[in-house]
Amino acid sequence: MTVGECNERDFWAERKVCVTGGAGFVGRVLCRRLKEFGCAAVSVPRREQYDLTQPEAVARMYDDFGPDVVIHLAAEVGGIGANRAHPGRFFYVNLAMGMNQIERARRVGVEKFVQVGTVCSYPKFCPVPFREEDIWSGYPEETNAPYGIAKKSLLVMLQAYRAEYGFNGVFVMPVNLYGPGDNFDPDSSHVIPALIRKFQIAKDEGRDAVECWGTGQPSREFLYVDDAASAILAAARCYDGAEPINIGTGSEITIRKLAHLIAELIGFDGGIVWDRAQPDGQPRRQLDVTRAFETLRWLARVDLRTGLEHTIKWWRSRQPSVIRD
């Protein structure tokens, strides 16, 4: 056991933690880590019992769980298609959940509140690599602006509450996440699970080509889910600042190169056709992760190829119809 692991065990063993969205993609990994560290109690509110868009439900949740630390992961989110179909809902639900959580946490005296934001909050034409101080330098990419603005409005709320009430709320901004347990629903998945699914189906059905959205020219940065969970926990334990922290790898890849890499890992040797009538989204995404290293002593550990291999293996293990090599 390293000194850092020992310190983490000491910290979490004394605290009750509530993880909203704890049954979701990142939340499951994060809750597992907390239990491994011997956390005093880990509570996961479920939507059926606690509608976080309703203040009275949030108040009841805090009364029931009595957390020392709250990690707010819960969100309604999706890829470009889902954002275009539900801009109003994505804005309202994400803003309402965060506002209700922060206000109640302040009222009951929660020790630490961690708000998980999104890279979608950055301006569409933000200078690369994205630095935290550039978050207000322009309007977000249009297809996901309502979601991104809702999230960074919560950053303003946390900063205002810190200034007026001394409330210890921190804000972390992960880049695009992926990994085992990701959402593979064709109507709401993000780019990596969507491409894995497309190429695997094309391989199984013997197709000659796969159609992908846009031009393939935009770039994205991707962070493996286990790395994201470790960064969020590090922020909960170590960071008490008002400014947001980027969480990512600091490396970008074009969607075209990503598609070819996934096709290679799947074993699909057909062509790729780009549907230029569909939107590309933000031109580039790459984070400056200097602040995460300096304040948290955190760096991502899983490279993209390895993470994709793990993700494909996980998804294939849950698809009985997939032909295995």
10 Å Cβ neighbour count for 126?
22
Strand pairing of 222-224 and 245-247?
unpaired
One-letter amino acid at 98 equals: G
Residues paired with 173 in a beta bridge: 246
Residues 27 and 33: their CA atoms lie apart, in Å, by 10
Residues 70 and 106: their CA atoms lie apart, in Å, by 11
- 147 annotated active-site: yes
Give the C-alpha distances (Å, rounded to integers) separating 282 from 16, 247, 285.
39, 18, 7
The residue annotated as part of the active site, out of 50, 62, 147, 161, is 147
Within the chain, strands assigned E span: 16-20, 41-43, 69-72, 112-116, 169-174, 176-178, 209-213, 219-220, 222-224, 245-247, 253-254, 271-275
| Cα dihedral 130, 131, 136, 137 sign | negative
φ/ψ of 80, rounded to 5, equals -60, -45
10 Å Cβ neighbour count for 43?
17
Residues 7 and 292: their CA atoms lie apart, in Å, by 19
Question: Is the distance from CB of 252 to CB of 221 less than 8 angstroms?
Answer: yes
Q: DSSP letter at 282?
A: S
Question: Is the distance from CB of 176 to CB of 222 less than 8 angstroms?
Answer: yes
- Mind telling me the catalytic residues? 147
